[in-house]
Amino acid sequence: MSGMRIYLSGMGIVTPLGQGISLTKLAMLKGQTGIRPLTLFPTATHQPLPVGEVAGLIEEDSLPRTHLLARLASDQAMAESAVAPEAVVLGVTTGGMLRTESLLKNNSQDPDLFRYHALGSVTEDIARRHRCTGPALTVSTACSSGSVAIKLALQMMRAGLFKRVLTGGADSLCRLTYYGFNALQLIDPEGARPFDKNRQGMSVAEGAAMLLLVANEADNAVAEILGAGISCDAHHPVAPHPQGKGALAAMQAALQDAGIKISDIDYINLHGTGTIDNDISEARAVNALFPQQKPPLSSVKGAFGHSLAAAGAIEAVIAAIGIGNHLVPATIGCRLPDQELKLDPVMKPSNSAIGTVLSNSFGFGGNNAAVVIGECGKHKPAVTATSAEPLAILGNACVTGAGRTQQTMKDVAAGKPCQGMLGIQELSANLSARDVRRLKRFPRLALSLAIAAYQNSGGTDRPSAVFMGTGWGALSETFDFLTRLNETDEQFPSPTDFVGSVHNAAGGQIAIQFQATGANITMTGGDYSFEQSLLAADLLSRNIQDSFLVIGADEAHTKLSHLFDRSVSKEATLSDGGGALLLKRGQFKSGLYIRTLFYESVANNPAVITSLIQQLGGPQQINDRYGVLLAGIPAACRGDGAIQLQNILSETGYKNPVIDYRRITGEFASASAVAAVMAANFIQDGKVPQPLCDGDAFPVSHKGAIIIGMGKFITAMEIVPQ
């Protein structure tokens, strides 16, 4: 058990109200708003809607706008620190989309121009900039991403993995979000009016905020991160639970995680977007949590707008500013509070001693998060679990171009490649007509994998949480939305495609299918997305008694995949697929167990292979423990990856079978999820098939498998028998 204190020792913020802590504090004191008509890009058919746009941003040809916002905020957070962060965890939903939209409209076909499209490229850029050699993890849970990133960073530190983590969120405005939210009729043409009787919607915004978290060191600390909670509505792809059940669960989990009572909360930073349904849902949740007297509460989105993945991080910084300056921000935009909500939002900035803040962030797909931030030393550190039972594999499933698990393993055993794409009808064979209504390829793939893994387990232990990894998300919905937007002169964008385009939409569909109301996390880190989802699952499931799903999946798209993914552009055959594991903590008879053992960047890290071998226990243990090594070398990194693999083999003297699994699966970002399912089946069968060995089939009944990812990062996952 741990009683670790997690201090906020540096922070940075970029919003429509200015850059830096001083300007932000001044704007809060004056009750200013940064909501103004859009100027960032032209609108073809109507007057620009009010948005939260960052002014005076000097753009560079080499970097998209989201990346620049993230750099500005991270430079502020790291300004007083001479020591590099050991890990970077960010929330991102738009990435390089603003630039991608223009490139696609101009029919650009150079993959190099799209190199910063990926959401994970934002986090990787910040990690390189600040010399981080550890994990660069990207959370994409829509509007709760920034808060979920803080929660994940908190758990990494509590588990003793790292002592210094840079976390936060960043997003820029783009046509996808501007027109998408408008297509859903969620934009207020007068600007956001949270909790106002006449509110009509939100104001889309952009921005970034970063928090440097340090364990057990109070130097320069401005606040403490006391705890955080997450939940999923499992109710609807867009609409919140009408009674706010998911929001309430997240707040309750945050208080429990922080080890404090509701009476300890001095101020609530409400999610408060200004949409009719969201404000009702949150109000009901707050009233349920505080049935009698409520602390002061307000929403800042009428001032800053809703910056999506950045919002939770921005509001965490605002909470810290409030604690340090005895400042409760006003609910800008709210002029006539809606009495039916039974809230009393703060209408003007006020001076009040606030020592503990509860900050809410709720997003598409019912992804909810709440963070508790407090004055340094005011509360005892929460006692949390730092060790946990192992992750047992109850069920597994995969999809490749060859087919589902059984056919894939049959072809692997015969030495046949499994490249290509499974037909949409076969992919949907285990889905009902109701399940697939309005779903395109990626959500069908993810949902099909989840159901197959559950059925493979015997179908008796329903998952309560979902951890999804995807390199590129819903490419079909993204392409179709932008295509229709351009073809209709921006008049008739598809609201359905917009809802489906967010990376966490598939995870939300899985949650609805299983009524999984626990954590629902989507991670996106290119070729290491499945590894990120497994790491997140390990860290965020330590108090989960039920089973949970860990999934990696990516769809192939004829127009986009070769532009976004350099590995795909080097292959003649377009491939996709994924893998799913149903996991549960505990010891089980004849069980298999999985865990992430290593995740480090290659950049600025010349000893990374040596570190890997040490972490795995040294050459002798590697040879004794693992009967097969599955090597993940993306085609875009084939040269470097081959050298990395050779170094591993030469330094360990490893003589057991080595499988270059992407030669079998084809090139797609989450191929490592298929490798995990392959490894589990090898061990269950007691052998590696003969075509994959130099000689006869290799026995592995009493040994495990190690799956090593190579390229820009070196990762390691093991699957071992009891």
Statement to judge: residues 121 and 66 lie in one domain: yes
In a domain, 386, yes or no: no
Final residue of a structural domain among 344, 374, 404: 374
What pLDDT was estimated at residue 42? Answer: 94
Here the tokens at position 142 are: 């829509």
Statement to judge: residues 607 and 697 lie in one domain: yes
The total number of structural domains in the chain stands at: 2
What pLDDT was estimated at residue 391? Answer: 96
685: exposed, middle or buried (C-beta count within 10 Å: 0-12, 13-18, 19+)? Answer: middle
Please give the Cα distance from 270 to 282 (Å, whole number): 8
Statement to judge: residues 12 and 121 lie in one domain: yes
In a domain, 317, yes or no: yes
Per-residue burial over 562-588, b if 16 or more Cβ lie within 10 Å, else e, is bbbbbbbbebeebbbbbbbbbbbbeee
CATH number for the domain harbouring residue 274: 3.40.47.10
Statement to judge: residues 106 and 215 lie in one domain: yes
In a domain, 470, yes or no: yes
Please give the Cα distance from 35 to 425 (Å, whole number): 47
What pLDDT was estimated at residue 386? Answer: 58
Statement to judge: residues 309 and 410 lie in one domain: no
Please give the Cα distance from 226 to 359 (Å, whole number): 12
C-alpha atoms less than 13 angstroms from C-alpha of 230 in its C-beta half-sphere:
34
Please give the Cα distance from 635 to 569 (Å, whole number): 9
> pTM for this one?
0.97
What pLDDT was estimated at residue 387? Answer: 64
In a domain, 620, yes or no: yes
The number of helices, as runs of H, and strands, as runs of E, in the chain is 25, 28
Here the tokens at position 40 are: 């960032």
What pLDDT was estimated at residue 217? Answer: 81
Here the tokens at position 388 are: 């946990």
613 touches 708 (CB < 8 A): no
The CA distances from residue 532 to 74, 137, 471, in Å, are 22, 7, 10
459: exposed, middle or buried (C-beta count within 10 Å: 0-12, 13-18, 19+)? Answer: exposed
Statement to judge: residues 159 and 62 lie in one domain: yes
Range of the domain at 273: 6-374
Amino acid at 418: C
**How close are the terminal C-alpha atoms of the chain, in Å?**
25
Please give the Cα distance from 117 to 65 (Å, whole number): 11
Here the tokens at position 607 are: 């000893």
In a domain, 554, yes or no: yes
Final residue of a structural domain among 309, 340, 374: 374
What pLDDT was estimated at residue 177? Answer: 98
What pLDDT was estimated at residue 44? Answer: 81
Instruction: Report the interhelical angle of 97-105 vs 65-77 (nearest 10°).
Output: 160
In a domain, 189, yes or no: yes
Statement to judge: residues 366 and 510 lie in one domain: no
Of 207, 209, 211, 249, which Cα lies nearest the Cα of 228?
Answer: 249
Of 83, 87, 101, 202, which Cα lies nearest the Cα of 143?
Answer: 202
Please give the Cα distance from 377 to 380 (Å, whole number): 7
Statement to judge: residues 214 and 107 lie in one domain: yes
Please give the Cα distance from 533 to 312 (Å, whole number): 20
In a domain, 519, yes or no: yes
Please list the rounded mean pLDDT of every run of 10 residues in the chain (722 residues): 85 98 97 97 89 91 94 98 97 98 96 97 98 98 98 98 98 98 96 98 98 90 97 94 97 98 98 97 98 96 98 99 97 98 97 96 94 94 75 98 98 97 96 90 98 95 98 98 96 96 97 97 99 98 94 98 97 97 89 97 96 98 98 98 98 97 98 99 95 89 95 98 87
Of 235, 515, 186, which Cα lies nearest the Cα of 365?
Answer: 235
Final residue of a structural domain among 341, 374, 407: 374
What pLDDT was estimated at residue 1? Answer: 45
Statement to judge: residues 443 and 357 lie in one domain: no
Statement to judge: residues 345 and 481 lie in one domain: no
Statement to judge: residues 520 and 494 lie in one domain: yes
Statement to judge: residues 401 and 344 lie in one domain: no
What pLDDT was estimated at residue 2? Answer: 56
In a domain, 150, yes or no: yes
